[in-house]
Amino acid sequence: MHEETLAEFVSGLEHDDIPSRVRDRATLVVADTVAAILGGVSDPAVASLVADWTLERGGDATVLGTPERRSTPHRAAFLNATAGTVLELDEGHRYAAGHPAIHVLPALLADGERSFRSGAETTTAFVAGYEAAVRVARAVTPLAEGYHPHGVWGAVGAAAGLARLREYNAETTLDAMRIAANYAQHTRFEAATEGATVRNGYAGMSNLASLVAADQTRAGFTGLREGVRRHLERVAGNEIDPEAFSDGLGDRWELDSGYFKIHAACRYTHPALDAVTELIEADGFDAADVESVSVETYDAAASLSATDPENALQAKFSLPFAVATALVNGRTDKAAFDENALTDRTRELARRVSVSVAPDIAARVPEKRGARVRITLASGAEHTREVAAARGGEHDPFTETELREKFDSLVRPVVGERRADELWTAAREPAPPRVICTLARG
């Protein structure tokens, strides 16, 4: 019943049904996600796969950030989603405990580019897919022990968005969602914490699976009855809550509860990074003066306790390294977590960062995810700062100016200043996918 209600909402959603603030937020998320994709496409493994998958001439879809590289929509969606995951700078959602936009947008851009969809149609489909993705995520969260949220529920949301973009009726939309749920991945969070870069492809596989599901549905394939619930119930840490599929549809817009990222690391590290950044700005000490650092935070963040990451991915999921690179390099952008940042000096400081759970902070989750940081200097002086919730979300949002600065830092090196300006404007208008994808070519 609740799956059917969600499918009916998706298939019946019209552009004018969406509040103007939500439409505006959606275009901001699109701009931010495109920037994350362009920033990540130069990753060596991604670039190698792009070259391998785009050798044949032609194709209906653009691989963003590359010069004239085109492929099938399915491959382009996989590549763009994977590129958008690499930097850990893509938008997320605190109640989904994951990243809806990167699971939904690449498939819509690829399909919309091929089918000449308008900006308004694509925005409507994106909102539909985002709302569906987060509601499915709410139903299964917390996930069973060990699961990574990437790749689990995202394909259902993307399939919903594609169904809306293709103007499927409610019955066909439901089948697309149920088939997509069949393709949920058995992802492991340890891939991130151990630096196994297969993790960067989880969202890519969700986008690919959503296109397969949408195509299968159009061809006449059908999904399992109550398939979203039945396929995903085993990944839920507690009993799945099917009522969450339809809760608040049309009244509560999940896009309102998303967050943006400026620190290029797992969101769990952000409260501590905010605190460290504030302490550096306020007290002006140097990393060489630091004797030790104590971080008190909530359980999930405290689990990111590795002190000697072997590669950039593992560094992004190490709270001690995140704190150390912020202190040593005075920055937390993509350069603070790349392979060049894995220096002996930063690793040595990371080993002097202790992490523990603070019951008072843990009790506020999921409404607020915070951290308390105490930096002890060699002189014996102590500097302490507590952050109740990381910047970028509802409690302390970034300004559009800050997000534009992030966009420019990722996009201008790829397409140049003039085209970056045009791409920002196109995403925010919103322009059709063909325009956005053309402007986003490297």
Find tokens 């937390």 and name the residue. 332
pLDDT for 285 equals 87
User: Whole-angstrom Cα distance, residue 167 to residue 105?
Assistant: 17
pLDDT at 57: 60
CA distances (Å), 408 to each of 76, 315, 361, in order? 23, 24, 35
The residues near 269 (Cβ < 8 Å, ≥ 6 apart) are 263, 301, 304, 316, 319, 322, 323
Take residue 415 and report the two structure tokens written for it.
């397409």
pLDDT at residue 69, as a whole number: 81
**Predicted local distance difference test score (pLDDT) of residue 55:** 67
Contact by Cβ (8 Å): 34, 267: no
Q: How far apart are the first and last CA of the chain?
A: 46
Q: What whole-number distance in Å separates Cα of residue 228 and Cα of residue 135?
A: 11
The angle subtended at Cα 40 by Cα 34 and Cα 42, nearest 5°, is: 125
255 phi and psi, to 5 degrees?
-60, -25
CATH topology of domain 267-387: 60s Ribosomal Protein L30; Chain: A; (3.30.1330)
How far apart (Å, rounded) are the C-alpha atoms in residues 214 and 166? 9
Domain extents in the chain:
2-262+401-439, 267-387
pLDDT of the residue at 244: 97
- Asked whether the CA dihedral 149, 151, 156, 162 is positive or negative, the reply is positive
CA 362 to chain centre: 23
Predicted pLDDT at 56: 61
Q: Residue 138: its pLDDT value, please?
A: 98
Burial class (CB in 10 A: 0-12, 13-18, 19+), 127: buried
Ranges assigned E (strand) in 290-377: 290-297, 353-357, 371-377
Using CA atoms, how far apart are residues 27 and 14, in angstroms rounded to an integer? 16
CB 412 within 8 A of CB 420: yes
210 by Cβ neighbours in 10 Å (0-12 / 13-18 / 19+) ranks as buried
Q: What is the pLDDT along the chain (442 residues), one digit of tens a residue?
A: 899 999 999 999 999 999 999 999 999 999 999 999 999 999 999 999 999 998 666 689 999 999 878 899 999 999 999 999 999 999 999 999 999 999 999 999 999 999 999 999 999 999 999 999 999 999 999 999 999 999 999 999 999 999 999 999 999 999 999 999 999 999 999 999 999 999 999 999 999 999 999 999 999 999 999 999 999 999 999 999 999 999 999 999 999 999 999 999 999 999 999 999 999 999 888 899 999 999 999 999 999 999 999 999 999 999 999 999 999 999 999 999 999 999 999 999 999 999 999 999 999 999 999 999 999 999 999 999 999 999 999 999 999 999 999 999 999 999 999 999 999 999 999 999 999 999 999 8
Environment class of 251 (CB within 10 Å of its CB; exposed 0-12, middle 13-18, buried 19+): exposed
pTM of the model: 0.97
Share in percent of the chain as helix, strand, coil (round to 5):
60, 10, 35
- Looking at the structure, give the CATH architecture of the domain made up of residues 2-262+401-439: Orthogonal Bundle (1.10)
Q: What pLDDT sits at residue 328?
A: 98
